[in-house]
Structure 1
């Protein structure tokens, strides 16, 4: 479960950077909206998966609501999931 959560955290962070760093500028500055839909869908699915897995992992490990809240807020911030992986998850594996 922890490996899946770490992978999801990294992929969610990459998708966040991809949508707001690449596809949104392409959409609004270059008029190319095509890549925005699939990348946005992937980001949305990964975001939901990250939050659900964070809840399950916090429940299983008895980490409490504070750590879940940190994970949730990190999922809303650019590079936040990378921070979660580095600070909370990398030393557990």
Structure 2
């Protein structure tokens, strides 16, 4: 479950960056609004999957309310998913290192 969430988190974060730094300049500087339509819809669907998987992972892994809030905030900030990925990677590796 955690690996699926980590993957969606990275893909959603990348789609957010594409929306902010490629699609929006294409719309506002070069007059191509269709870029935001396509990337925006994709990003929206990925964000819904991100929230759903985050809630499932939180339930399964017993995340604190504070960490759940941080995860949700990471999904709304540019580059937040990459910071979150570092934290989740540690959490994924710790059980393997303890054996």
Scaled to the shorter chain, the TM-score interval is over 0.9
Query: CA RMSD for the aligned pairs?
Result: 1.0
Per-residue CA shift, 1:18-68, capped at 9, x if unaligned? 001000010010001122111101111111111111111111111121111
Larger radius of gyration: 2
Query: 4+ runs of 1 displaced by more than 4 Å?
Result: none
- In structure 2, distance between residues paired with 1:16 and 1:36: 11
Q: Which residue of 2 aligns with 1:53?
A: 53
Unaligned 5+ segments in structure 2 are 94-99
- In structure 2, distance between residues paired with 1:59 and 1:66: 13
1:16 Cα shift?
0.5
Unaligned 5+ segments in structure 1 are none
Q: Which residue of 2 aligns with 1:90?
A: 89
- In structure 2, distance between residues paired with 1:83 and 1:48: 20
Count of matched residue positions in the alignment of Structure 1 and Structure 2: 92
Per-residue CA shift, 1:46-91, capped at 9, x if unaligned? 111111111111111111211110000111100001111112x112
Is 1:76 the counterpart of 2:76? The answer is yes
> TM-score if structure 1 supplies the norm length?
0.93
> TM-score if structure 2 supplies the norm length?
0.88
Q: Which residue of 2 aligns with 1:7?
A: 7
